[in-house]
Amino acid sequence: MAIELVNICKSYGEKKVLQNINLTMQAGEITCLMGASGIGKTTLVNILAGITAPNSGEIVWPSPSLVSVVFQEDRLLEWETALTNVLFVATKEHKQQAVQLLIQAGLADSINKKTAELSGGMKRRVSICRALIAQSNLLILDEPFKGLDSETKPVIMDMVKQYSNKYNYVLCVTHDVSEVEFLGGKLITI
């Protein structure tokens, strides 16, 4: 079983961003996507997430898919707590799991703080926890580890690797080969 992107094309006006992209994501493996800045990786993420439609081509899904995304921007509710942000994509029954994720991410002292009060790296960790708790079968990570310090990054990468087996499919967009190696991902370059 695989998710297949077949001849995906996307243009914005006269600017062609994606031209006949073919990509296969196998169930049970982490697919890592690399490419130069501006080549269309985030556009591809947005197409997979259903945020934007391709101009042509198709995505072949093996079954109805629910998607969880860590965007390049944190996209948090700044006026809400870290815990509320994580629970935004889950039910109240998942509260204990949300708390455990935040603790594992090193945010035990910030669970009930408004996200506006958190540092950039802390907000990043909240975004990752939110994506990891979502009930979906495709996890998309668009440069998820940017902004994390050298001590925190391996902890969060390990967390993502640990929880990735909950998803049928994982796509991680990165510029760092060491992240691909750590995650044990299959590298695809566009």
Q: Distance between CA 127 and CA 176 in Å, rounded? A: 20
Percent of the chain scored above 70 by pLDDT? 99
The pTM for the full model equals 0.92
pLDDT confidence of 41, banded at 50, 70, 90? very high
What is 1-66+169-190's CATH number, 3.40.309.10, 3.20.20.150, 3.40.50.300, 3.50.50.60? Answer: 3.40.50.300
pLDDT tens, residue by residue, 131-155: 999 988 899 999 999 989 999 999 9
Q: Distance between CA 42 and CA 119 in Å, rounded? A: 24
Give me the chain's average pLDDT, please: 92
Residue type, 27: A
**How far is residue 69 from each of residues 127, 150, 151, measured CA to CA in Å?**
9, 23, 24
pLDDT tens, residue by residue, 70-98: 998 899 999 999 999 999 998 778 999 99
